[in-house]
Amino acid sequence: MTNGAGTTDPPARPYMRHQALDQGWLSPSLEGQIDPFAPASGPSLYHWESPDIKVDARQPGTPPFYQTDLEYPLPIPHGAFDQIIDTSQNLPESDNAIVHVQIHNRSYTSLSGVSAWAVWTNCSAGVPSLAASPSHGNAFDFWSQFSSSGSISPSLPSDSPWKAVGAPVTVGGLSVSSPQVASFPGWTIPTLASGDPGHYCIVSFAHSQANPISATSFNVDTISTNNPQVAQRNLHVTTLSPMNLIHLGFGLSDYVEFHNPSAEETLADWVFDFRGLPSALGAAVQISHVLTRDPLHHSILGALSEHEMHRRHASVEHLREWSERFHASPRSEHVKVPPFAPRIYAVHRSSAFEVRGVREPAHGVSRALFALTTTDHSLLSQSFRFRVLRRVDGRIVGGSTWIVRPLHSFRDRKHGPPPFVEPEFPVRGRG
């Protein structure tokens, strides 16, 4: 098709944006771009921040409802997708949510028969291999579920770290002016380990006979950088919530995993990038038992020394209390967490905390807990973000992003605004 001025309509191809500035044209998509709406944050847009994946938690009412009810029955138009406010911080366990995936087409030539599917895994900075499955020797052929006819037939092993959000959905009528939205209703929020804040990573796929995904790698972070038909959302929405009456103030605590998707041992750096956060926020990190290339005390950067911690650090105390309850509570089956290393590190204000040269075993998983705390109530009306990153050979290869929203914008799904009392565990939030 030829348009004005001799231009030619590009071949039809479905795509999902990898981050806010991605338009589905470049492969690999650009990484670490500067957000024009937050230029002071520096490089801040990464492939795991797809704006084409949104989560809508069911809201309380009689009957309970979703944002799109009444005005927009499923399937919703792309205009409604743009209006949806991500409510993934209100995802109570065993309740329902809808995951919406918006799929674009770069051409005026309409596309039909596009199969969309979404899977989730635990909150991770570097997600597990799609082939991960101990019963299959970590060699499960994930792409065998994607047929040459364009259909998707899910058959994930029960011990895969990946779980389906729902059954595949087929969409049609995609053109450059008419994106389509595949919705996965009735996603039952997994039963949480007590103390798990309820964050998850979601990956979506757009596959068809005319445009198969044609991937061979099982490394999601590699695929979702190079393939516009695969998108990733490791974006977690949360807020600061009241701490207990001993440690007056507000804070958040969270759990994150680091996966090595390779079949070989990998040397990786873990980066908790708290740079750019207000200086009134204190931070603390606790990691699982790991082996490092150099002695551990030489591998840690950005932590306060024991001498510098001349008085009790609120973030350390908050994380220590939460960590103890986390490990003393019964586990759900999807989170089996061994004991962490005993030391909790206090982080220099507005700095990055790094663990360098971690020896990650093949298909291994390591874990960390972290906390932010403050007594500055002015921060409750602010919004800010930070990231936890996995770096290999000096290059960012995976990560997760946290968006902290103002407290007044948060409403607990079941109990209303958080009271100023000690919660059993941090307020749930996820992206």
- What's the rounded Cα separation, in Å, for the pair 360 and 269? 10
What is the DSSP-derived secondary structure letter of residue 99? E
What pLDDT is recorded for position 427? 36
Residue bearing the bigger pLDDT, 421 or 37: 37
- What's the rounded Cα separation, in Å, for the pair 53 and 41? 23
What pLDDT is recorded for position 239? 85
Model confidence at 409: pLDDT above 60: no
What pLDDT is recorded for position 35? 80
**pLDDT bracket for residue 329 (50, 70, 90):** low
Going by C-alpha positions, the residue among 148, 150, 130 that lies closest to residue 140 is: 130
Buried b (16+ CB within 10 A) or exposed e, 383-418: ebbbbbbbbbeeebbbbbbbbbbebeebebbeeeeb
264 Ramachandran zone, left/alpha/beta (phi>0; psi -120 to 50): beta
CA atoms within 13 Å, Cβ hemisphere of 298: 5
Question: What average pLDDT does the segment 328-342 reach?
Answer: 63
What pLDDT is recorded for position 236? 86
Going by C-alpha positions, the residue among 35, 45, 162 that lies closest to residue 396 is: 45
Whether CATH 2.60.40 fits 239-409: yes
**Which residues fall within 8 angstroms of residue 52, CB to CB, at 6 or more apart?**
16, 17, 101, 102, 103, 104, 204, 231
**Which residues fall within 8 angstroms of residue 27, CB to CB, at 6 or more apart?**
226, 227, 228
- What's the rounded Cα separation, in Å, for the pair 407 and 382? 8
Residue bearing the bigger pLDDT, 346 or 320: 346
Residue bearing the bigger pLDDT, 306 or 183: 183
Per-residue CA distances from 283 to 248, 300, 302, 321, 369 (Å): 15, 15, 11, 14, 11
Q: What is the mean pLDDT of the chain?
A: 85
3-state secondary structure of 222: helix
Model confidence at 196: pLDDT above 70: no
What pLDDT is recorded for position 333? 41
What pLDDT is recorded for position 198? 65
Question: Is the CB of residue 150 less than 8 Å from the CB of residue 209?
Answer: yes
What is the DSSP-derived secondary structure letter of residue 429? -
Residue bearing the bigger pLDDT, 131 or 335: 131
What pLDDT is recorded for position 419? 37
Low-confidence winner among 119-133, 189-203, 256-270 (lowest mean pLDDT): 189-203
**pLDDT bracket for residue 337 (50, 70, 90):** low
Task: Report CA Rg, the chain.
Answer: 22
Rounded to a whole number of angstroms, the distance between the first and last alpha carbons of the chain is 40
209 Ramachandran zone, left/alpha/beta (phi>0; psi -120 to 50): alpha
Element spanning 317, H or E: helix 314-328
What pLDDT is recorded for position 311? 54
Each residue's pLDDT tens digit, 243-291: 765 556 898 889 999 999 999 999 999 999 999 899 999 999 999 999 9
**pLDDT bracket for residue 320 (50, 70, 90):** confident
Peptide bond into 63 cis (omega under 30): yes
Model confidence at 27: pLDDT above 50: yes
Tell me whether strands 200-207 and 114-122 are parallel, antiparallel or unpaired: antiparallel
Element spanning 395, H or E: strand 395-405
Question: Is the CB of residue 201 less than 8 Å from the CB of residue 233?
Answer: yes
**pLDDT bracket for residue 146 (50, 70, 90):** very high
Share of the chain above pLDDT 70, in %: 83
Two tokens at 224?
A: 């979702």
Model confidence at 90: pLDDT above 50: yes
Buried b (16+ CB within 10 A) or exposed e, 271-297: bbbbebbeeebbbbbbbbebebeeebe
Residue bearing the bigger pLDDT, 191 or 46: 46
Q: Which amino acid is at 2?
A: T
Residue at token pair 């007044």: 408
Domain spans, the chain:
4-234, 239-409
- What's the rounded Cα separation, in Å, for the pair 270 and 256? 11
**Which residues fall within 8 angstroms of residue 2, CB to CB, at 6 or more apart?**
8, 9
Going by C-alpha positions, the residue among 300, 415, 287, 429 that lies closest to residue 356 is: 300
Taking the alpha carbons of 313, 318, 322, 324 in that order, is the dihedral positive or negative? positive
